[in-house]
Structures are given as C-alpha cells and as structure tokens.
C-alpha cells in the first residue's frame, strides 16, 4: 500500500522545466511579470499544467557560457529543457562551428541525463553575409535533427523586425512580442512535457 501511495505522489510531482538561455528568455528590459518565463509559466498554468520553471537564462550569454554553467544549473534537477542560445554568438560574429560544437555538447549532457530538449534556434544577422548565415543557420538545422530533440528553427519567428513587438533596441521583444513568442512555442512545450514518463 505504501508503494501505491508513493507512486501516486511521484506522479503528482510537478515537471521541472529548465530554461537555458540568454536575454530573450531572461526577460531583459521587462518587468518580471512580462518576461518570457513569467508569461510561459502563466500560459502553462492556464492549460492546467503543473510545471516548475528552473531559471537558467543569463542576459548576454553565449553558447560557450551556457555550456560552461550547465552542470551547475542542472544541480537543481530537471525533467525537460528549453535551450535558447546562439543570438549573442551571431551578434559577435563568433565562428559558427564553435556555436554548433557548444550546443552539441549541451545536448550531449542533457541526453546523457535523459532530459528531453526543445531546441529553439536563432538566425544569423543578415549583415554578416550569406556564407556566415548558411554556416550559422545550418548548425541549428543539423542539431534539430538529433533523436530526442524537438526543434523550433527561430525563437523570434513572427516577432523579429516588427517595431510594434520589440523594445526600442529592435532586438528584444516587448511584452506583446513575448506573448506572441509564448503562444507560438506553447504547443511545442506541451509536446515536450507530454514526453515525460
């Protein structure tokens, strides 16, 4: 009987979702309740999802930074992860092969811990030229084809370049832009959660 109750208790435990990202998921320039994580948590709650978000987003972070602190962030435990990194690599014109290698290492660690992943990609700034863009964007496409990885090609899809959805810097979404991102990603996040055994 104790085992039965223990099983029920375990089943009722909230799913722990790690957000490993940069300023886009850290809520840069926004009030706490308007940021990505707050809006995602509210959207999941409205859908009846019992989820605890683990904040692993740091403004200004590169893929190398995310890779370096992954073990520390995972100390809190996670069942699934949303990885949103790479924008700062592109803004700094870092070598695309390094970006891909860092993200591959992050995915390897998460896979080794049986943590399912939603990889939300980034597109290279167009001013860096077509050759850089093809290499940068191609890395995300290759990683997105990995087994066990859900892939969203562009975190800012439908928001980037729209002044009505971005802060004055033209890079970071405003509250309405974040709302658009969350609404678009919500089905993929729910698919990620549904894969937890």
Q: Which residues contact 13 (CB under 8 A, 6 or more apart)?
A: none
Residue 108 known to be catalytic: no
Residue 169 known to be catalytic: yes
Instruction: Answer for the pair 20, 83: CB distance below 8 angstroms, yes or no.
Output: yes
Instruction: Answer for the pair 159, 177: CB distance below 8 angstroms, yes or no.
Output: yes
Pick from 148, 147, 151, 153: which is nearest to 195 by CA? 148
Three-state secondary-structure class, residue 166: strand
Q: What is the rounded CA–CA span in Å between residue 157 and residue 123? A: 10
Catalytic residue among 22, 71, 169, 194: 169
Q: What are phi and psi of 127, to 5 degrees?
A: -70, -10
Q: Which residues contact 67 (CB under 8 A, 6 or more apart)?
A: 102, 103, 105, 106
Catalytic residue among 23, 61, 89, 120: 23
Catalytic residue among 22, 120, 152, 172: 172
Residue 59 known to be catalytic: no
Active site positions, annotated: 23, 169, 172
């Amino acid at each position: 009987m104790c085992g039965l109750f223990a099983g029920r208790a375990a089943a009722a435990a909230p799913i722990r979702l790690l957000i490993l990202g940069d300023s886009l998921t850290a809520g840069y320039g926004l009030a706490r309740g308007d940021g990505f994580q707050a809006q995602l948590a509210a959207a999941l709650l409205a859908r009846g999802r019992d989820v605890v978000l683990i904040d692993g987003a740091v403004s200004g972070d590169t893929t190398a930074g995310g890779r370096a602190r992954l073990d520390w962030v995972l100390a809190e435990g996670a069942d699934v992860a949303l990885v949103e990194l790479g924008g700062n690599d592109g803004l700094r014109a870092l070598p695309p092969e390094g970006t891909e290698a860092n993200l591959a290492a992050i995915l390897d660690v998460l896979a080794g811990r049986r943590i399912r992943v939603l990889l939300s990609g980034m597109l290279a700034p167009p001013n860096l030229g077509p050759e850089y863009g093809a290499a940068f964007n191609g890395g995300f496409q290759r990683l997105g084809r990995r087994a066990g990885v859900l892939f969203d090609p562009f975190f800012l899809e439908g928001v980037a370049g729209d002044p009505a959805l971005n802060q004055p810097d033209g890079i970071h979404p405003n509250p309405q832009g974040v709302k658009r991102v969350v609404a678009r990603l919500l089905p993929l996040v729910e698919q990620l959660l549904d894969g937890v055994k």
